[in-house]
Amino acid sequence: MQRRGRARHRDSELALLLETTDKGTEWHQLELAMRKIYEDEMRALEETLLREDVEEHGNRTFEVPSTGALLDFDNAISHLYHLCSRLLAKNIVDLRPEFICEESEGLVQAKVILPLSVIEEVRTAESEYFWMSEKNAIKDASSVAYKALHHACLVNDNVLPPLPPDSAMDELISSSVEMRVSIVNVREQSNPWVEIARAWQRSEGTVYEAKITVGELQMKTWLPTPVPKLSPFHTYWDAETTFAISLSTSASIAFQFGDHFESLG
């Protein structure tokens, strides 16, 4: 059976090249047998879905009088999965409930087993009745299990799992949410020396003095362009050595090319 490609299209044809024509009948019989298996499976599935729809479950519900919270026959499974997902356990532990169905005389009874984090008294539960379909038997077992969890005070009167411990809740509330984007476009690293060289060529006899302080070391520089103002900052030579760096500028200085320029250099 091909499920992908052009052969799966309606009215598609398959051509087989055989040495003799005797095999053609066998291929035809094989195709008929495969079609019968497929039709039988579809017929069984339709019968199962029909049994699930027509089977009465008596509108079984569980209501908490103090809050009015309602657990019905259809949402018990989702409540059970939600509870198991909130259990505290390591990543290697499967927190999903496990369902086991047994058939007897054409009827099905289901059993649910909860993770080991649940106390032993309510870890397992069985459906109260036998059902024609596995789906309804699992719903019944889930409903029985969740009501037992409520009686054991493992779910609150809103039929919901309890909140995390205070420490975990405090961490969730106090932790700041990262609002920055994960990827930011930035400019390439700036190299000022090319522009400074061009500025020397355009210079008309004015330079700008700047004093750089690195720890206890002070350096002066004269450039043909003003040095931008920077706030003091720290650099880290290694894990134990830190340098404070500051930059201060002064007014521009006029000079004449020649000996004076060479002394500045």
State both tokens at 155: 């779910």
pTM score of the predicted model = 0.45
* Model pLDDT for residues 59-109, shown as the tens digit of each residue: 678 888 888 888 888 888 998 988 888 776 556 677 889 999 998 888 889
What is the Cα 43 distance to its own chain's centre? 39
Poorest-confidence range of 51-65, 148-162, 214-228? 51-65
Query: Which residue in 175, 41, 4, 145 sits closest to 84, CA to CA?
Result: 145
Place 20 in a pLDDT band, splitting at 50, 70 and 90: low
Query: Mind listing the pLDDT tens digit for each residue in 164-213?
Result: 655 555 655 565 666 666 777 877 877 888 888 888 888 777 888 888 89
CA distance 72 to 76: 6
Res. 17 pLDDT band, cuts 50 70 90: low
124: which strand partners? 113
Residue 84's CB is within 10 A of a number of other CB atoms, namely 19
